[in-house]
Amino acid sequence: MDVAKHAGVSPMTASRVINRHPHVGEAMRARVEASVQASGYRPSLAGRSLRTSGLLRIGVLYSNPSAAYLNQFMLGLLEQSSLTGSQVMVDKCGAIRSQRAATERLLAAGVDGVILPPPLCDSRQTITELDARGIPVVAVASGAPMAQISAVRIDDYQAARAIVDHLIELGHRRIALIKGDPKHPPSALCTNGYLDSLHAAGVSVADGLIAEGLFTYHSGLLAARSLLAQPQPPTAIFCSNDDMAAAAVAVAHGLGLRVPEDVSIAGFDDTPVGHHHLARTHYRASTHHRDGAHCCVTADRRRSVNAARGVHQVIKYTLVKRGSTAGPPKTERNSAQLPPPVVYRRTTSTCATPSRPVNGTTASRCLGSAAKPRLRSASNRRSANGITMWRAQQRSDACPNGR
């Protein structure tokens, strides 16, 4: 029998009573204890020992489309936790019902605080539910953090302006933007920074130079392809995260374009996915976000229960100038001629041979551990990490120009 359900209380309240938490009303305590007796529940001695050991338990709720960012986030948090002797509990959630279930699981585990990386850092429903139960919350990379919770972030608006200013200083005027998820506030901040930087320099935004993205590699492929297919393609592309920047580099290479000689590409976040491709312009923010988030959870744990406001920390960013940005090409180029669409078919072998032709294209996939699919040019260059790749070869009769 579920004690919390029998008592008509939340799992967190039942957990607090069972583990003898002092901040529980007598009436509530009596109701839960009666349900414990009725159900015959016996608490785990090992679990009780853990809860009374003084160990800081940090919960992480995630629902992030960028695996690169999330991996960096978790690696940094685990490293910091090992130094402080903390325990990290991770749960994934997606839909509203899934978020509630994941929240209940973390609360039942007795976490001392919860970290919310993007995009959950801006989920008011999740934040309100945790805050109402007295659980300290840290929003990481939030564009509009709520006053009552702690938050750690960079100034996305100014960071975006600095990147675009850098491209303008190099001589670019046709600068494109691949936006992030419109439901995530930092995406709007980056867009505003991009627009204001161009406006301050007296550069007009040409039609078609702003492409929609979702912070995912696939959305970056589609956006970059649409930008580079224009009659007058951009000479520089600013991508709102590294996943989309990596996709833009892949598309450029697939079209036979050189980076940065033919097109400059700038990213955002400085995650490892940016290092596997050509170097780009980044902001070193992720490490500071992770360390700052851990510090904020610790600070929140020590806050007075009656504190009305959280701790908001704005982390300094650094522009890292790498080899993917240079001045615009000396001669104006027309749109890159796009190859016919590639239709990929999944094969069952570990390293498949080409499957049957589809729309003038043969495609195969070498399967391995987690890595992002990439468009390949006719030369079929190998991926930088050599793990997993989509490989596509254009048939010469379907694409006379060899692309």
Determine the pLDDT at residue 343: 42
Determine the pLDDT at residue 346: 43
Average pLDDT over residues 317-346: 68
Of the two residues 284 and 161, the one the predictor is more confident about is: 161
Provide the residue count of the chain: 403
Determine the pLDDT at residue 208: 93
Average pLDDT over residues 229-239: 95
**Angle, alpha carbons 191-194-197 (nearest 5°):** 145
Determine the pLDDT at residue 399: 34
Average pLDDT over residues 186-197: 96
Determine the pLDDT at residue 96: 64
| Least confident span in 138-147, 351-360, 361-370 | 361-370
Average pLDDT over residues 282-310: 53
Residue 363 predicted with pLDDT over 50: no
Domain edges within the chain? 1-52, 157-283, 339-403
Residue 364 predicted with pLDDT over 50: no
Kindly indicate the confidence band of residue 307, based on its pLDDT and cuts at 50, 70 and 90: low
Kindly indicate the confidence band of residue 166, based on its pLDDT and cuts at 50, 70 and 90: very high
Residue 237 predicted with pLDDT over 70: yes
Kindly indicate the confidence band of residue 252, based on its pLDDT and cuts at 50, 70 and 90: very high
In angstroms, the CA 219 to CA 377 distance is 19
Residue 357 predicted with pLDDT over 90: no
Of the two residues 338 and 87, the one the predictor is more confident about is: 87
Of the two residues 237 and 1, the one the predictor is more confident about is: 237
Residue 145 predicted with pLDDT over 90: no
Residue 257 predicted with pLDDT over 80: yes
Task: Map residue 195 onto helix, strand or coil.
Answer: helix
Determine the pLDDT at residue 242: 86
Determine the pLDDT at residue 280: 45
Residue 388 predicted with pLDDT over 90: no
Determine the pLDDT at residue 202: 97
Residue 365 predicted with pLDDT over 50: no
Kindly indicate the confidence band of residue 9, based on its pLDDT and cuts at 50, 70 and 90: confident
Residue 391 predicted with pLDDT over 80: no
Residue 356 predicted with pLDDT over 70: no
Kindly indicate the confidence band of residue 375, based on its pLDDT and cuts at 50, 70 and 90: very low
In angstroms, the CA 231 to CA 214 distance is 25
Share of the chain above pLDDT 70, in %: 64
Of the two residues 95 and 171, the one the predictor is more confident about is: 171
User: Are the beta carbons of 229 and 238 closer than 8 angstroms?
Assistant: no
In angstroms, the CA 54 to CA 51 distance is 7
Kindly indicate the confidence band of residue 172, based on its pLDDT and cuts at 50, 70 and 90: very high
When the pLDDT of each residue in the chain is averaged and rounded to a whole number, the result is: 73
Rg (CA), the chain: 25
Average pLDDT over residues 356-364: 39
Of the two residues 307 and 208, the one the predictor is more confident about is: 208
**pLDDT tens column, 96-123:** 667 778 888 888 888 888 999 888 888 8
Q: Please state whether beta strands 137-140 and 113-116 pair in parallel, antiparallel, or not at all (unpaired).
A: parallel
Sign of dihedral through CA atoms 349, 352, 355, 361?
positive
Q: Which residues make beta-bridge pairs with 394?
A: 361
Q: Which residues make beta-bridge pairs with 115?
A: 60, 138
Average pLDDT over residues 190-209: 95
Task: Map residue 283 onto helix, strand or coil.
Answer: strand
Residue 199 predicted with pLDDT over 90: yes
Of the two residues 158 and 297, the one the predictor is more confident about is: 158
CATH architecture, domain 1-52: Orthogonal Bundle (1.10)
Residue 56 predicted with pLDDT over 60: yes
Q: Which residues make beta-bridge pairs with 266?
A: 238, 281
Residue 32 predicted with pLDDT over 50: yes
CATH architecture, domain 157-283: 3-Layer(aba) Sandwich (3.40)
